């Protein structure tokens, strides 16, 4: 039992060391000192209109509503 316990302890230590080294490589890979850094600022504005604020939809909806009401009223009368 003693060799297995020693082996697992050493493997755990090795994996901890490997994880620490790999994570430090990732951190240093993102370092930008010494390089040329260019920043470009651009502003773009977009204007959006909601569909219910467009007058064409309001007019179209009113016309369809009037047609539906006229069909219901006319359908009720049987001449």
For every one of its 79 residues, what pLDDT tens digit does the chain have, with 9 covering 90 and above? 788 888 888 888 888 888 888 887 777 766 566 666 677 888 888 877 787 788 898 899 999 999 999 988 888 666 5
* pLDDT for 60: 92
With contact defined as beta carbons under 8 Å apart, do 5 and 13 qualify? no
Q: What is the model's pTM?
A: 0.36
Q: How far apart are CA 20 and CA 48, in angstroms?
A: 49
The secondary structure of 28-70 as a DSSP string is HHT--TTS---------------GGG-HHHHHHHHHHHHHHHH
Query: Domain coordinates of the chain in residue numbers?
Result: 50-79
CA torsion angle 58 63 66 67 (round to 10): -140
Query: Cα-atom radius of gyration of the chain, to the nearest Å?
Result: 37
């Amino acid at each position: 039992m003693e060799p297995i316990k020693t082996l697992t302890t050493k493997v755990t230590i090795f994996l901890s060391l490997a994880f620490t080294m790999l994570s430090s490589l990732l951190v240093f890979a993102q370092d930008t000192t010494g390089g040329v850094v260019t920043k470009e600022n651009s502003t773009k504005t977009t204007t959006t209109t909601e569909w219910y604020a467009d007058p064409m939809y309001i007019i179209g909806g009113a016309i369809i509503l009037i047609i539906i009401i006229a069909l219901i009223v006319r359908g009720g009368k049987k001449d």
